[in-house]
Chains A and B, each alone.
Chain A
Amino acid sequence: MTDDRNAKQKSKGGILFFLAGFVVMLIFGWAVFPALLYSTAQQPVSFSHKKHLEGAGMECEQCHSFREDGTFMGTANMTGNFDGACLNCHDDPETMQGADPRETYFLKEYVVKGVKRIEWKVYSKQPPCVFFPHAVHTVKAELECATCHGDMAQQDQPPVYKENRLSGYSIDIWGRNISGLTSNSWESMKMSDCGACHEERGTANGCQVCHK
C-alpha cells in the first residue's frame, strides 16, 4: 500500500514539473521570443500623416506619386521634384506651420542644420529579388493603397519600427502578431500574401511574375 501511495505522489509531482516546463516554454515562445527577435527603433522624424492631411489640407499624391517614367517615388523627403517635399513648406526655420513640438524638433534638427535627407525606415521594404511595380497594382488593378499599407491618413504617430535581427526586414512583413495570423490584408506582406491575392484575382501567379 505504502509503495503504491508513494508512486502516485511521485507521478503527481512529475505532472506538475511537466506542466511547469510547458507553461514556461509557452510564455517564452509567445512573449519573450518575439521581444528578443526584433530590435526596436523610432523613425528619425515623428511624422504625422493626420496633421498634414487634416491640418494642412494636403493630398496623399503630393508626396506619394508616380515619376514620369512610371516608377513609384515611395516616401517623401526634404527636397525633390514633387509638391510634398518637406522644404517646400518648412523652408523657414523661424516660421512654424503648426504648433506641434515635433515640428520644432524637425526645424531645429533638419532645416536649420541643412540635412539633405531623412533616413526613413521603410516598413514595407522587400528583398531585392522581388519586382513590385506600384503602377500595375494601383493604376491597372485599381487596388487601394490601404489594401497593403493600411489607412495611413489617420495615423498621428509613426509606429515603432521593429527590425528582425536575423532577416533584417521590418516586422510588418511577417505581421505584428507573432503567430503570423492576420485579420486584415495590410497586416502582413509575405510572398504568401502576394500569391494569395494573385490567386484570388486570377492573375498570373508564376515565379517569374515577381522574380524576374
Chain B
Amino acid sequence: MKPSRRRFLQFSMGAAGAFLFTPINWKLMDDVAIWTQNWSWVPVPEDGARAYTTTTCRICNGGCGIKVRLIDGKRAVKIEGNPESPINRGGLCAWGAAGLQYLYMDENRVPGPMKRDRVTGVRTRLTWEAALELAAAELKKAGGEGTAIVNGRKRSTMNGLIRQFAADLGAAHYCEPCDGGDVQKAASELLLGRPGRYGFDLERAQVILSFNAALLEGWASPVRMMRAFGTWMSGTEESRARLFQVDPRASLTASKADTWLPAKPGTETIVALAMANVMIAGNMVAPEAAGAPGFDQFKSLAEAYSPSKAAELTGVEADQIREAAEAFAKAERAVALSGQGHGNTPEPLSLAWAVLALNGLKGNFNKEGGVYLTPEPPGLDLGAGVENGSLLELAKGVAQGKEKLSALLLFESNPLFNGPDPAAMAELMDKTPLVISFSPFWDESTKKADLILPDLTYLERWDDVDTPLGMPYQAVSVTKPIFAPRHKGAPTGDVLAKLTKALGKTPPFAKYEDALKARVAKLQATGHGLAASEEPAAPMDLLGSGPGKGWGSAEEAFEEVAATGLWYNPSGQGDQVTLSFEKTLEVKPLEPKGDAQHYPYPLVVFDTARVASGFYANPPFVTKIIEDDFLLKKDIFINIHPETAHALHLKEGSKVVLESETGQGWVGVHLTQGARPGVIYLPAGLGHTTFDPTLKDKGLSGAAMVEAVEDPHNGQPLTFLGRAKLRKA
C-alpha cells in the first residue's frame, strides 16, 4: 500500500472523527476561557488587608447603619447593611448598596472649589483660600438683606450650623423645603397642641392603614419598612397583620397590600374622614377621644362623609371603607399613617391631620402597635430666631420685582430640578447675581452656580441624621469618614466656620466634628440611650429597656457612638398629650391647578421604588434596574388605563406628547389596570439634564410638569397633582 492523497485524506478523516472523542476540544475551550481572564491587561483589583468601617448611610434620611468593606484601608469595595443597627438590622436598599458610585463616579463630582463666569460659562478652579476669600467678600457685598439660604440638610446637626450661619449673616431669607416630617409637626400641633413629629410601631401593629405612603417603595426609612412588611406577612392567614393601602394608583405597595382602596387623587382625606364616620357611628371610639374637647365638631365633620357619600366623592367602594375602618377599630393594635411618596415632599395637611385623628379615635398614642409621640433628641439649639420662609414665595416675589436678591446659598439642595416649580427657580437663579452651591455633585443647580464650595460625599465626612421619619423612638445615626477625601472638597461644616470667621464673627465650632461631639454630649447628658450593639434588636423589642448605658463621660459616649454609628433611646416614653378637636379643618378634595378645558386630565406625579426623589440622584446601578413600565432606554412611560388609551386611540408603547401649562415632552404610553381611568400617571425624579450618561437626558422631569397646588391649610406647595393633556405630535 503506497501512500496517496486519497489515503492521507482517509487517515485525516479518521483523526478528525476521533478528535471528537478526545478531551482536547472541551479541555482547551475551558483553558482558553481562563487564559483570557489572566491576560496582563485584564484589570484585577489588588488584594490587601480587609477591614470594615461602621458608619451610616446618608443618601436619604432613613438612618440605616452600614459597614463598608475596605482593602488596605484605602479602597472601598462594598457597602453592606450593619446587622447591629436596630433600624435596618443588616438590610440595605438598592441605593445604599450602590453608594460607592457616589464616591467613585468622578464625572458626577465637583473636584474642588470653582467659580464660573456667567457670560462665557467658563469655570476656573480656585484654591480653598482664594475661594473662601472670594465668598466672604461677595457675601459682605451682598449684605444680609439681599441673601437667601436654602437648607437641604435639616435632619442633621448641620441644620443648626446653617441656621446659625444665616443668623450671623443676617440673611433675610431662610428656607428649609417642607417634607413629610413638617406636615406631621403641623398636624400634631392642630390635634394635640404639640408641634412635634411622631413615629409608628409598625412591627407590632396588626392592622395598618396607609394613606399614600409608598411603604415598599422608599417611604421614610425604606429598609425598616421592608422588614416591617416581612413581619406583617409572616404567620398564618388569621394571625398575620393586614395592610390597607389608600392610593391613587396600584403602586407596588397597593399591589402587595391586603386591600387596595383606589381613591381619586386628592380625595384621600375624605376616605380618612369616612373611616372616622364608621368608627363614630359604630361606637368604636376610644373614651378619651369621645370626651375630648371639640369632639362634636369633629363628629359633625365626619358625619358629612358617610361611606356611601365618600364612595361617590372618592371612588372607593363604601364596603371597602367600612371593612378597613372596622378592622382598624377592632384590632388590638392598629395604626394609621399618611405620607406622600418617599416622604421628601409634603402631603396635604388635612390628610395628615385626619389620619392622626383616626389614631386619636383608636386611642393608640404611646401604646404598643400605635403612634409614639416621641420628642426630638436634644440638639444644639443654634440659630435661634431664624424664621423659615417659602422658597416659592421668594421666587415669585423676585420674578414680580417685589424682592431683590443679591446672593443665594444652596446647601444640598437642587431647586432647579426638584423645585417646587423648577421654571420659577431657574428665573430666581438667573436674577440673583451670586449663587453659591455647597454640593459635592454636578447637579443642575450646581452647574448654574457662580461659585462652588464643594462638600464631600457622605462616605468621606462627619455627619449625623436625626430620628428617621416614622421611627417610634429617638435615634441619632452618625456618619464618619471611611478614609481621606478623594477630591479637594471640604466638609461644609468646616467651611462655614471659616466663612463666619472671614466675615468677622465667631463660629460656634471650629469644625463640624466638634459640633457633633457637643451634640453627642447633649445626648449623653440625658442619661438615656444605647449605642448600636451586638444584641439582635428588632426596632421595638427593646422598647422600655431602662435608662440605657449611662456613659461616664461625653468622650466615652462619642467614642462608642461614632464606632457603632448609632445612638438610640428605646425608652418607649412619648409626650403625654391631650387630644383636642377644637381646631377642625375644613376639608375639600384637592383640585389641581390649570385650565380643565385645555388640560382635561389630572396628572399624578408619583415616587417609584427605583428612582431617587431627594437630593442624591440615582447612581447608575439603580438607574439600570428601573422598571420598563417607567423607563425604557431614554423614554419615560406614563401609565394610563386601557379605557383612557382607547378613547385617545393610543396603544401600548405609543409615543405621545405630554403637555401641561409648565412643560411638555415626549412620553411612551404604558397601559395598566392599576391606573384610574381619565388620570395620567408620571414617574417622578427622571429627566435630569446633568450627571453621567446613565441618568442624563432620560425621560421627563415630573417636577417641571406640575404647577404646585398651595395647601389651603399651611400654604405649602403640593407638587404631586397637576393637569395635562396628551397630543399625538
Which residues, 68 to 97 on B, are CB-close (under 8 Å) to A? 77-78
Given the complex, which residues of B lie within 8 Å of A168, measured CB to CB?
Answer: 34-35, 38
Which residue of chain A has the shortest Cβ distance to B26 in the bound complex? A180
Given the complex, which residues of B lie within 8 Å of A143, measured CB to CB?
Answer: none
Given the complex, which residues of B lie within 8 Å of A57, measured CB to CB?
Answer: none
- B27 CB–A CB distance under 8 Å: yes
Given the complex, which residues of A lie within 8 Å of B15, measured CB to CB?
Answer: 21-22, 24-25
Known: A69-B50, A127-B38, A178-B27. 19 other contacts (CB 8 A): A17-B10, A17-B11, A17-B14, A18-B13, A18-B14, A25-B16, A25-B17, A26-B18, A28-B22, A29-B19, A71-B50, A127-B34, A167-B34, A168-B34, A178-B23, A179-B23, A180-B26, A180-B27, A212-B78
Q: How far is the CB of B519 from chain A (nearest CB, A)?
A: 33
- A23 CB–B CB distance under 8 Å: yes
The complex places the Cα of A26 from the Cα of B17 at a distance, in Å, of 10
The complex places the Cα of A21 from the Cα of B78 at a distance, in Å, of 55
A14 contact from B10, B27, B37, Cβ within 8 A: B10
Given the complex, which residues of A lie within 8 Å of B22, measured CB to CB?
Answer: 25-26, 28-30, 33
B31 touches A164 (CB 8 A): yes
Contact bitstring A158-190, B, C-beta under 8 A = 1, else 0: 000000101111000010001110000000000
The complex places the Cα of A84 from the Cα of B24 at a distance, in Å, of 42
Using A18-B13, A25-B22, A33-B23 as known contacts, say yes or no to A128 and B34 having CB atoms under 8 A apart.
Answer: no
- B32 CB–A CB distance under 8 Å: yes
Contact bitstring B330-350, A, C-beta under 8 A = 1, else 0: 000000000000000000000
Most buried by B among A128, A164, A167: A167
Chain A interface category by residue count: 35 or more
Which residue of chain B has the shortest Cβ distance to A178 in the bound complex? B23
Q: How far is the CB of A6 from chain B (nearest CB, A)?
A: 14
The complex places the Cα of A24 from the Cα of B12 at a distance, in Å, of 10
Chain B interface category by residue count: 20 to 34
- B535 CB–A CB distance under 8 Å: no
A20 touches B34 (CB 8 A): no
Q: How far is the CB of A28 from chain B (nearest CB, A)?
A: 7
Q: How far is the CB of A18 from chain B (nearest CB, A)?
A: 4
B44 contact from A22, A25, A128, Cβ within 8 A: A128
The complex places the Cα of A22 from the Cα of B21 at a distance, in Å, of 9
B18 contact from A23, A34, A37, A180, Cβ within 8 A: A23
Most buried by A among B34, B47, B77: B34
The interface of chain A, by Cβ under 8 A from chain B, is 13-26, 28-30, 33-34, 37, 69, 71, 127-129, 164, 166-169, 174, 178-180, 212
Which residue of chain A has the shortest Cβ distance to B46 in the bound complex? A128
Contact bitstring B25-67, A, C-beta under 8 A = 1, else 0: 0111011101101100000110100100000000000000000
The complex places the Cα of A15 from the Cα of B7 at a distance, in Å, of 9
Given the complex, which residues of B lie within 8 Å of A25, measured CB to CB?
Answer: 14-19, 22
Which residues, 310 to 341 on B, are CB-close (under 8 Å) to A? none
A13 touches B7 (CB 8 A): yes
The complex places the Cα of A129 from the Cα of B7 at a distance, in Å, of 50
- B1 CB–A CB distance under 8 Å: yes
Given the complex, which residues of A lie within 8 Å of B1, measured CB to CB?
Answer: 13, 16
Q: Please classify the interface of chain B as helix (H, G, I), strand (E, B), loop, or mixed, using the class held by over half of its residues.
A: helix
Q: How far is the CB of A209 from chain B (nearest CB, A)?
A: 13
Which residue of chain A has the shortest Cβ distance to B1 in the bound complex? A13
- 6 A-B pairs (CB sep. < 8 Å): A20-B14, A25-B17, A29-B21, A34-B23, A71-B50, A180-B26
Q: How far is the CB of A69 from chain B (nearest CB, A)?
A: 8
Q: Please classify the interface of chain A as helix (H, G, I), strand (E, B), loop, or mixed, using the class held by over half of its residues.
A: helix
Given the complex, which residues of B lie within 8 Å of A21, measured CB to CB?
Answer: 10-18
A166 touches B32 (CB 8 A): yes
Q: How far is the CB of A212 from chain B (nearest CB, A)?
A: 7
Which residue of chain A has the shortest Cβ distance to B18 in the bound complex? A25
Given the complex, which residues of A lie within 8 Å of B44, measured CB to CB?
Answer: 128-129
Which residue of chain A has the shortest Cβ distance to B19 in the bound complex? A25
Using A18-B13, A33-B23 as known contacts, say yes or no to A166 and B7 having CB atoms under 8 A apart.
Answer: no
4 tightest A-B CB contacts, nearest first: A29-B22, A21-B14, A25-B18, A167-B34
Given the complex, which residues of B lie within 8 Å of A34, measured CB to CB?
Answer: 23
Q: How far is the CB of B22 from chain A (nearest CB, A)?
A: 2
Given the complex, which residues of B lie within 8 Å of A166, measured CB to CB?
Answer: 28, 31-32, 34-35
Given the complex, which residues of A lie within 8 Å of B19, measured CB to CB?
Answer: 25, 29
The complex places the Cα of A173 from the Cα of B556 at a distance, in Å, of 52
A167 touches B18 (CB 8 A): no
The complex places the Cα of A33 from the Cα of B28 at a distance, in Å, of 10
Using A17-B11, A129-B37, A167-B35 as known contacts, say yes or no to A22 and B18 having CB atoms under 8 A apart.
Answer: yes
Which residue of chain B has the shortest Cβ distance to A181 in the bound complex? B23
Which residue of chain A has the shortest Cβ distance to B12 in the bound complex? A21
A18 touches B11 (CB 8 A): yes
Contact bitstring B449-484, A, C-beta under 8 A = 1, else 0: 000000000000000000000000000000000000
The complex places the Cα of A26 from the Cα of B20 at a distance, in Å, of 9
A128 contact from B16, B24, B26, B47, Cβ within 8 A: B47
A167 touches B12 (CB 8 A): no
Which residues, 668 to 695 on B, are CB-close (under 8 Å) to A? none
Given the complex, which residues of B lie within 8 Å of A169, measured CB to CB?
Answer: 34
Given the complex, which residues of B lie within 8 Å of A69, measured CB to CB?
Answer: 50
Given the complex, which residues of B lie within 8 Å of A20, measured CB to CB?
Answer: 11, 14
A29 touches B18 (CB 8 A): yes
Q: How far is the CB of B450 from chain A (nearest CB, A)?
A: 44
Given the complex, which residues of A lie within 8 Å of B24, measured CB to CB?
Answer: 29, 33
The complex places the Cα of A30 from the Cα of B25 at a distance, in Å, of 12
Given the complex, which residues of A lie within 8 Å of B16, measured CB to CB?
Answer: 21, 25
The complex places the Cα of A19 from the Cα of B11 at a distance, in Å, of 7
Most buried by A among B21, B26, B31, B50: B31
